[in-house]
Chain A
Amino acid sequence: MSRTGLLDAWPYARLLGVRLEGGEDGPVALLPFAPRLIGNPILPALHGGVVASFLELAALARLDAEGRRARTIDITVDYLRPAGPVATYAEARVLKLGRRAANLAVEAWQEDRARPVAALRGHFMILG
C-alpha cells in the first residue's frame, strides 16, 4: 500500500513542480525549470525564494520519507552561484533526528553536482 508523498500532497510543492527522482545514491528532489520561477529576467535566474522553497521542501520530503511529519522552525539559505533557467536538483541529509526536532542540511545543484548553487541548514519540529 503506497501512501501519497509530501510533494504530491502539498499544494505549494505542486505549484512549483517539485518531485522526487531516483538518483545513484537514493532519491533526489527535482525542480524542473518553468518561466514563472524567474526572479531576475535579465540574467535570467530563478527567484531566491524559489530556490529556498525547493531546498526546504527537499528537507521536509526527506523527513517524510522516514515517516516523520515536520514543521519548519528556522532555515538559513546560502546562495553560492546563480541558479539558471534549467532543472535544479537537491539532496537532503539528516544531521540529527531527535524526538522533538531534526537538523538537516540540503545542497542544490544544476548541471554539475560539484558546483552547488545553494545550501540550506535548518531545524524542523517533529510533529509525528
Chain B
Amino acid sequence: MPDEPRVPDEPMSDAAPTELAARGTALSLALGFETLTDRACGMRAPFRADLVGDPAGGAIATGVIFALLDQTCGMAISQALRNRAAAENRALGFGGMATLDFRLDHIRAPRPGAAVVGEAECLRITGDVAVVRGWAYEDDPDDPIAAAQAAFMITQAPSASA
C-alpha cells in the first residue's frame, strides 16, 4: 500500500483521496470532526456555537451534517477499496474519488446543543462507481436525524500491474 495517495489523472471533484479522507481534511478539522475508533466509518461533529444553523432552533446546521456524512461516505469507500485490494492480494492502486451526487434527507431536527454522529457504509463498488449510504444521529442509531445516499466515481482505477 503506498504511503501517500496518488494524484488523480483527471480530477473531477472535491472528494479526498483515500488516506486523506481518513485523516481528516482542512474542513473537517476546522469544524472539529473527531474520528470514531469504536466503529468502522464514523465521525462526530461536536456541538459548537459556530456550527449552529437557524439560531431560533439552536441545533447544529443541516450543512454540517452534510459535510459530516460526505466525509464518512468517503471513508467507507476508502475502506471498501482497501478490503478489496487485500482480498485480491494486490497493492492499493488508488488515486482518488469524486462525488457524483449526494442526497440527504432530514428526518427530524437535531436536538439543540447536541453533538451529531455520522456513519456510512459502502454498499457496492461496481466498475468505477461506488454506491454508499450514510446516517446521522445523536446517541441512538435507531433514532436517525438524517439519511444520505450517494454515488462516487473512483477517479483512478487500480492498474493491472499494481
Q: Could you tell me how many residues of chain B have their Cβ less than 8 Å away from some Cβ of chain A? A: 45
Please give the residue numbers on chain B whose beta carbons come within 8 Å of chain A beta carbons, in ascending order: 5, 7, 11-17, 20, 25-30, 49-56, 61-64, 66-71, 96, 98-106, 109
* Residues A36 and B105 in contact, CB atoms below 8 Å apart: no
Tell me the minimal C-beta distance from B76 to chain A in angstroms. Answer: 14
In the complex, A77→B56 CA distance in Å? Answer: 26
Report chain B residues within 8 Å CB of A49: 27, 63-64, 66-71
In the complex, whether A28 has a CB less than 8 A from a CB of chain B is no
* Residues A36 and B20 in contact, CB atoms below 8 Å apart: no
Mark interface residues in A66-99 (1 if CB within 8 Å of B CB, else 0): 0001011111111101110000000000000000
Q: Could you tell me how many residues of chain A have their Cβ less than 8 Å away from some Cβ of chain B? A: 41
Report chain A residues within 8 Å CB of B53: 10-12
In the complex, whether A63 has a CB less than 8 A from a CB of chain B is no
In the complex, A89→B14 CA distance in Å? Answer: 16
Report chain B residues within 8 Å CB of A40: 11, 14-17, 20, 25, 96
* Residues A48 and B13 in contact, CB atoms below 8 Å apart: yes
* Residues B27 and A39 in contact, CB atoms below 8 Å apart: yes
In the complex, A78→B101 CA distance in Å? Answer: 4
In the complex, whether A53 has a CB less than 8 A from a CB of chain B is yes
**A39-B26, A79-B14 are contacts. A74–B105 as well, Cβ < 8 Å?**
yes
